[in-house]
Amino acid sequence: MSDLFQQESPLLQIDLAEPRGNAPRIEEKPFLGYLNLRARNSNTGFLAATLKVLGCEPPTSANTVIESGDYRIYWLGPDEWLVVTPAQQQEQVKSDLLAALEGVFSSVVDNSSGLTMLHISGDNAAALLATDCPFDLHPAEFKPGQCAQTRLAKAGMTISPLAEGAGFEVIIRRSFADYLLLWLQNAAIAFE
């Protein structure tokens, strides 16, 4: 990355204090890489390319997430996935995917500068999110390995349960990050 630009969290100015009482913990996972991947999931060249670069084929079942090494791959639609990479690895993964997909009708777009991730954990994580999320977050309905695109407090998000009921990861647009974090902190007061 050029020395002209310093990467900053969209939540740099907001205090992520320790939760009080039974309030859920809210943490940002900044600087992850986010690659939007599009192609026909029936194309064998596409499947071979993703297997070669990501170590797995992308999920084909609706609203599922697959982990492969350092990567998480979210199903967003029949021909669309979001690949989350560790910080600073998205450029190399994008380059590798583009090379492997040469001649395959597909696209790989780096959305890293436009998205961020929050982890919301604790006993009341689902209750906090349910205050203004229309999606059923009950663990009997929404389990680890699943994901959904929905909204929270009028902000679009992609959400997925963390393993063993530890909470949720929420991917949001950078432009909504401060608004949504302040909304979450305000709503969490009810659990203190």
What domains lie within the chain, and their CATH numbers?
Answer: 25-30+113-191 (3.30.1360.120), 33-112 (3.30.70.1520)
Is pLDDT at 3 greater than 80 in this prediction?
A: no
- Amino acid in the structure at residue 7: Q
Q: Between 5 and 148, whose confidence is greater?
A: 148
Mean pLDDT of the chain: 91
Question: Which tokens sit at 123?
Answer: 């006993």
Q: What is the pLDDT of residues 108-153, one digit of tens each?
A: 999 999 999 999 999 899 999 999 999 999 999 999 999 999 999 9
**What's the rounded Cα separation, in Å, for the pair 164 and 79?**
29
Q: Contact, 7 vs 1, CB < 8 A?
A: yes
Tokens 């996972």, residue located: 29
Q: How many CB atoms lie under 10 A from the CB of residue 154?
A: 10
